[in-house]
Amino acid sequence: MNSPPDLITVLLVEDHRAVAEGLWALLDDYDDLTVVGWADSVAEAEPMTQQLSPQLALIDYRLPDGTGADAAARIRAHDPAIAVVILSADTSDSALLAAVEAGASGYLLKSAGGDEIAAAIRAAAAGETLIPARTLMEVLARHRESARLTDQQTERLESLTAREQEILALMTQGLDNRAIADRLTISYATVRTHVRGILEKLEARSQLEAVAKAADWGFRPTPPAPPPQPPEP
């Protein structure tokens, strides 16, 4: 498709037809922008890019067969000169980082107005990065801290002995120490000793807090083994 040199050609990647049509109509209101096509999935985005050679892809982050970051990575692997702006309802740090790692120049929320979207398209097509370095540094810092805390939580859960894990699993079922002792056929004093160990390792002040922390950290109790079946006659 031959276009005037100052006309920015845009490919839409959006799985909801009504949204795509709305964006198409919105961008048509700007004399320097023109939509050249629409893809509704990650799989369709790359071949549409090869066929239409747009200057920029405006991509929804949530697609039926992946993310906008997946689509961006495929598009830019085919042609790194194509700019990418992600349009998303996802405000998470992980989504923003994935978009940046895939080569997106901008990341806009779907609440953005037409002028903001048009301005982002123009800037990205001109080679500008729309995500401030300070914002990206803050996101990376939060991401690293979250990863550190997750590793720490995993280590604490893995520090529990097999018996402590067994008792914690029963605690998550609402059993008190006496009931746990009866269930495991061990002494009440032994259960209390193990519970103290669980609280210490999880840095919990009560059994309720230990159960809450374990659930939040991804503790998955191992289901009890089924009782042995009597031999068949």
Q: Assign 226 a pLDDT band (cuts: 50, 70, 90).
A: low
Tokens 């961006």 locate to 72
Tens-place pLDDT, residues 12-30 = 999 999 999 999 999 999 9
Examine the pLDDT at 93 and tell me if it is beyond 90.
Answer: no
Examine the pLDDT at 74 and tell me if it is beyond 90.
Answer: yes
- Determine phi and psi for 64, rounding to 5 degrees: -65, -25
Q: What is the pLDDT of residue 163?
A: 93
Q: What is the mean pLDDT of residues 87-93?
A: 85
Least confident of 58-67, 92-101, 117-126, 161-170: 92-101
Tokens 């919105």 locate to 26
Examine the pLDDT at 31 and tell me if it is beyond 90.
Answer: yes
Q: What is the pLDDT of residue 103?
A: 87
Q: Could you tell me which residue, 228 or 126, shows the higher pLDDT?
A: 126
Q: What is the pLDDT of residue 132?
A: 60
Q: Could you tell me which residue, 44 or 5, shows the higher pLDDT?
A: 44
pLDDT, mean over the chain:
87
Q: Assign 231 a pLDDT band (cuts: 50, 70, 90).
A: low
pTM score, whole prediction: 0.60
3-state secondary structure string across the chain: CCCCCCCEEEEEECCCHHHHHHHHHHHCCCCCEEEEEEECCHHHHHHHHHHHCCCEEEEECEECCEEHHHHHHHHHHHCCCCEEEEEECCCCHHHHHHHHHCCCCEEEECCCCHHHHHHHHHHHHCCCCCCCHHHHHHHHHHHHHHHHHHHHHHHHHHCCCHHHHHHHHHHHCCCCHHHHHHHHCCCHHHHHHHHHHHHHHHCCCCHHHHHHHHHHCCCCCCCCCCCCCCCCC
Domains of the chain: 8-137 (3.40.50.2300), 157-216 (1.10.10.10)
Q: What is the pLDDT of residue 130?
A: 78
Q: What is the pLDDT of residue 223?
A: 57
Q: Cβ-count burial of 167 within 10 angstroms (0-12 exposed, 13-18 middle, 19+ buried)?
A: buried
Q: What is the pLDDT of residue 207?
A: 92
Examine the pLDDT at 136 and tell me if it is beyond 60.
Answer: yes
